[in-house]
Amino acid sequence: MNNEMPITKEGFEKVQTELEHLIKVEREELKVVIAEARELGDLKENAEYHAAKEKQSTVEGRIMQLQGVVANALVINPSEVKSDKIVFGATVTLLDVDKDETVVYKIVGETESDMKVGKISFKSPLGKAIIGKEEGDTVIVKAPKGDIEYEVESFEYI
C-alpha cells in the first residue's frame, strides 16, 4: 500500500525545520527542566515536574507526527510542474461569481494547508473541485451554506 502524501518543497522544508527544532531544542530543554524538577523532591506534589512531563508528552507526539509526514512525503516542486490543467502545486486565481470577488489559492498538501494565507489542501472540497480544470472553466463547490460558483481566471506553477 502506498502511503505517499504530496507536499510542496516549501512545506516539506518547513516540516523539517520544525522537526529539527523540536528534537534539538525543545526535547533537550525539557530534559533539563525535568531533571531540575526531580531534584526538588516529592514528585507527587511537584507541579513543575508534572507540567514538564505533560509538555514532554505533547512535544514527543508532535515529533512522531512530523516524522510520519517526512517518511511519507512525496515532495513536489511547483515550479517544475508542467501542465495545461490545474494540478497539485498550482496557484489558482478564481472569480467568486456570487460576490464578484477574485481570490487566489495555492493547492498544497494537507499538513501545510492554511486558508488564512491562501493555501488549500488538494483534499478540500474546493481543492478537489478545481483540480483538472482549465482557464475559463466554471467550478461549483458544495458548501454547508449552499453551492459556491467560481470561474477559473488563471493558474500558474511558481
> Is there a single domain that holds both residue 20 and residue 68?
yes
> Is there a single domain that holds both residue 88 and residue 50?
no
Q: What pLDDT, in 10s, does the model give residues 14-57?
A: 999 999 999 999 999 999 999 988 887 777 778 888 899 999 99
Q: Scanning the structure block, which residue is given the C-alpha cell 512535544?
A: 59
pLDDT at 102 over 60: yes
> Is there a single domain that holds both residue 55 and residue 90?
no
Strands (E), the chain: 5-8, 73-76, 91-96, 101-108, 119-121, 138-143, 146-156
Residue 42: per-residue pLDDT: 73
What residue numbers bound the domain in which 146 lies?
Answer: 78-156
> Is there a single domain that holds both residue 94 and residue 39?
no
Q: What pLDDT, in 10s, does the model give residues 62-76?
A: 999 999 999 999 999
